């Protein structure tokens, strides 16, 4: 799709098309989009799946994780302050797509009796250097299998 066609499909006024092109270029630089050409030579923009980017670019993966971790630590503390009762009585919990596990760590900090498992993709789990004793890290794909537990937590704090 050409830039003008995309802008038109998104109802972007012609006066803003140039700025929109610059915005897309920024996203390309941040590797969220790939810029390619179709057989006619026209420029095309393709959405790059973030997980592919994170898998290939270790530096990006590190930066992305740090952002998620600091956010999740805050969210974890707030959840434990405001609605910790929903975790009472659980013996095990699996956090799907839990990244490096800040939320699971917040839970085990308050409920050390809950066995917390963090499931995430290999590129994510491989960055976990030390396995915090109460949290078990499992490398895998949630669309293939999820470890069994009393409860499943799927959190996306974006
Ligand atoms: C937006 S992050 C959210 C991380 C964390 N739950 C949070 O809220 O901070 C999404 C997470 O899902 C993981 N993920 C994506 N696809 C997955 C899959 N098929 N199986 C397991 N984890 C996956 C990513 O690696 C990433 O850590």
**Are 12 and 76 members of one domain?**
no
| 39 shares a domain with 78 | no
Residues 139 and 70 occupy one common structural domain: yes
- State yes or no: pLDDT of 39 exceeds 90: no
Whether ligand 1 lies within 6 angstroms of the CB of 156 is answered as yes
Cβ of residue 155 lying under 6 Å from some atom of ligand 1: yes
Q: For the chain, what percentages of helix, strand and coil (3-state, to nearest 5) are there? A: 45, 20, 35
pTM of the model: 0.67
Count of domains forming the chain: 2
What is the residue range of 81's domain? 58-154
49 DSSP assignment:
P
Q: Ligand 1, atom 12: nearest CA belongs to which residue?
A: 97
Q: What is the pLDDT of residue 77?
A: 87
Q: E-assigned strands of the chain?
A: 33-37, 43-47, 92-96, 115-120, 135-139, 151-154
pLDDT of 125-156, one tens digit each? 988 877 666 899 999 998 889 999 999 998 87
Q: How confident is the model over 58-76, as pLDDT tens digits?
A: 777 777 777 778 888 888 8
């Amino acid at each position: 799709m050409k830039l003008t066609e995309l802008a038109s499909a998104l109802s972007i006024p012609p006066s803003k098309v140039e700025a929109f092109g610059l915005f897309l270029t920024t996203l390309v630089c941040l590797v969220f989009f790939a810029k390619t050409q179709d057989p006619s030579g026209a420029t095309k923009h393709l959405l790059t799946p973030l997980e592919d980017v994170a898998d290939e670019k270790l530096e990006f993966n590190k930066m992305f994780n740090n952002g998620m971790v600091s956010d999740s630590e805050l969210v974890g503390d707030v959840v434990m302050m405001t609605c910790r009762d929903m975790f009472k009585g659980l013996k095990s919990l699996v956090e799907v797509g839990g990244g490096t596990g800040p939320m699971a760590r917040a839970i085990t900090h308050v409920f050390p009796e809950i066995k917390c498992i963090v499931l995430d993709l290999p590129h994510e789990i491989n960055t976990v250097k030390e396995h915090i004793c109460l949290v078990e890290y499992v490398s895998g794909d949630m669309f293939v299998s999820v470890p069994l537990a009393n409860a499943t937590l799927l959190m996306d704090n974006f």
